[in-house]
Amino acid sequence: MSLATLAQQAVDRLAARRLSAAGPAAPGAPPAVPTRDDALSSLAKYIPTEMVTLYLFGLSVYGTDADRTGKYALTLYEWLIAFTPVCFWLIFAAKFRAAAPGNAWPGLADVPWFRLIAATAAFVVWAPAVPKSGFIANAALAMGIAFFALVVSTFLSLLERLFEPRP
C-alpha cells in the first residue's frame, strides 16, 4: 500500500476519534474509515510502494552486473531506509494540515508512530526479497528471505490491532 494511503487512513482515524469523542455523529459527518481485512490486503498493507518503486528504479538504472548492482543496491537500500520515515511523515503532515482547522501542524501525539515504523520495517524486509536485487546470489536463501518478508508483513498486520487505536 502506498505511504499516501497509510497517511490518509491515519488522518481519517484521527478525525473519526475526535468526532466520536465530541459526541454522537452529526448529520453530514464523514463516514467511518473503510478498511479491508482480507489476507492479501493484510500482507501488502505496510509495504511502502513509493520506496519499493524508487528502489526498483534505482536497480534498473544501474544495470545487471551483479558485483556493481550489489554494492549499489546496498547504498540505495540504506538511503531509502532512512528516507521512508521522513517521506511518510511529510505525506502525513501535508494531509493532516489539509484536514486540520487553521492548517495546524500535527503534534507528537497525532503522528501514527506504528504506521511510520511498520512501513519502514516492511521496506527493510521487502527490498532484499526483490528478485535480482544484488543482495543474495543463493536461490534458496532468496526464497527464505521472501518467506521471512511474508511472515513480517503478516505480523505487522496483527500488531496493528494492538498499537493502532480504533475510532
3-state DSSP of the chain: CCHHHHHHHHHHHHHHHHHHHHCCCCCCCCCCCCCCCCHHHHHHCCCCHHHHHHHHHHHHHHCCCHHHHHHHHHHHHHHHHHHHHHHHHHHHHHHHHHHCHHHCCCCCCCCCHHHHHHHHHHHHHHCCCCCCCCCCCCHHHHHHHHHHHHHHHHHHHHHHHHHCCCC
Average pLDDT over residues 3-24: 77
Q: Kindly indicate the confidence band of residue 33, based on its pLDDT and cuts at 50, 70 and 90.
A: very low
Query: Residue 38 pLDDT more than 50?
Result: yes
| Per-residue model confidence (pLDDT) at position 118 | 93
- pTM of the shown model: 0.79
| Per-residue model confidence (pLDDT) at position 91 | 93
| Per-residue model confidence (pLDDT) at position 117 | 94
Query: Residue 142 pLDDT more than 50?
Result: yes
Query: Residue 25 pLDDT more than 60?
Result: no
- Provide the residue ranges of all domains of the chain, joining segments of one domain with +: 3-9+38-163
